[in-house]
Amino acid sequence: MDYAQIPQGEVLDGRFEVRRLVKSGGMGAVYKVTDRLLGGKTFAVKQIRPSADPKEFQQAKSHFIGEIGVMQSLHHPNIPKIISSFFRGDSFFFVMEFVDGIDLSAYRKEHGNPGLPVDRVVGWAVQVLDALSYVHERPNPITHRDIKPSNILLDEENNRVVLIDFGIAHATDPADGWIGTPGYAGAEQQMGTPEPRSDLFALAATMHELLSGVRPRGGFEFGTLENLKVKAPEGLQDILDHALEPWAEDRIPSAREMKEQLLALPGLSIQGPTENREHTFDVAADALNREAIVPGLKDLIERFGNECQTPYIPATLSFNRFVLGAMTSFELVITKDDQRESIRFEEKQGLLAPVLLGEVFPLENGSPEPVRAIIDRFASDYEEFKNSSWQIL
């Protein structure tokens, strides 16, 4: 499907300014954008169009909202954080963490001979399996459905890989039929019944390609590493064979077990990713958001009813503007500071300049009590503001 490219400088959803096209393909396009609300912070915006019939567009739209809501709840260093979503015309958009990296398909073509070093491939697989354990072991397991080299991005600066397009195909096309890529899909997935072990097949096929330089052709036929002249440690071939069984019930039972088997291989020097402070901060901040900020603001909505001018509370914490009052606004503005040290709470009355109400440091103290105290103070200030003899317009 062809897409009209969004021009540089155009502002999406009132805040995301397009900087450049990163990638376009069959499912849509990805743009690098900067957020005007957050002082120019960089994000990626993906534009997609549902493959459903136009008559089913509303169903696809509702399905997308539900799936994106689930994906926004994911907090893992190897899964890009989804910030928000919106619609424009016949396209769906979602905003996510920008990963300045290269996909592993392109990386193999640039650096493979024809494949890549075993230590690196196994190390990347361990990171992916850590992410898969996280989503597969949730109360309602999530299956990626389309793991392949081009859907794994490598941030070379810190050796972190991230798994992109998590459930996006399913999110935008609720119609029946199997989703995935031939050669990377097990038999049950091709029958339209994917499950968590489908991702293990896809990852094993991905590892085989990265090691050998040979793309899978389908038919469940993968040459042995020895025949493909790949020097591999004892046991790796057995792990791949087990994960590449055509049917899910015959495979390694879980991502966690596959990860443990890979880590037990002899003679490998596996290097994990270096610490990503921004991500570590964001995870801690999002935990505080879930445990204290969102419940606290919901209490304010219940307490003040129609006086609340905020239509909804974002599931993720990037920029939160909570407004009370009618003729004169009384606002609580919640932001993460640029250095990723603290969450700032500012109180703003009408046209007056904002005043710092409080600041919390998630990496030093993850307790929800300081947040609750700040929100209580905001509520008290609002009551006093309402009862004052004058209000600032």
Quick check: is 146 catalytic? Answer: yes
Q: Is the peptide bond before 114 cis (omega within 30 degrees of 0)?
A: yes
Q: Are 106 and 86 in contact (CB under 8 A)?
A: no
Q: Which of 146, 165, 282, 286 is catalytic?
A: 146
Could you tell me the sign of the dihedral formed by the alpha carbons of 156, 29, 35, 364, in that order? negative
How is residue 318 written in tokens? 């990037």
Q: Using only the alpha carbons of the chain, give its radius of gyration.
A: 24
Task: Determine how many CB atoms are found less than 10 A away from the CB of residue 293.
Answer: 27
Nearest of 327, 141, 116, 323 to residue 210 by alpha carbon: 116
Spell out the SS3 assignment of the chain. CCCCCCCCCCEECCCEEEEEEEEECCCEEEEEEEEHHHCCEEEEEEEECCCCCHHHHHHHHHHHHHHHHHHHCCCECCECCEEEEEEECCEEEEEEECCCCEEHHHHHHHHCCCCCCHHHHHHHHHHHHHHHHHHHCCCCCCCCCCCCHHHEEEECCCCEEEECCCCHHHHHCCCCCCCCCCCCCCHHHHCCCCCHHHHHHHHHHHHHHHHHCCCCCCCCCCCCCCCCCCCCCCCHHHHHHHHCCCCHHHCCCCHHHHHHHHHCCCCCCCCCCCCCHHHHHHHHHHHHHHHHHHHHHHHHHHHHHHHECCCCCCCCCCEEEEEECCCCCEEEEEEECCCCCCEEEEEEECCCCCEEEEEECCCCCCCCHHHHHHHHHHHHHHHHHHHCCCCCC
Report, as residue numbers or ranges, the catalytic residues. Answer: 146
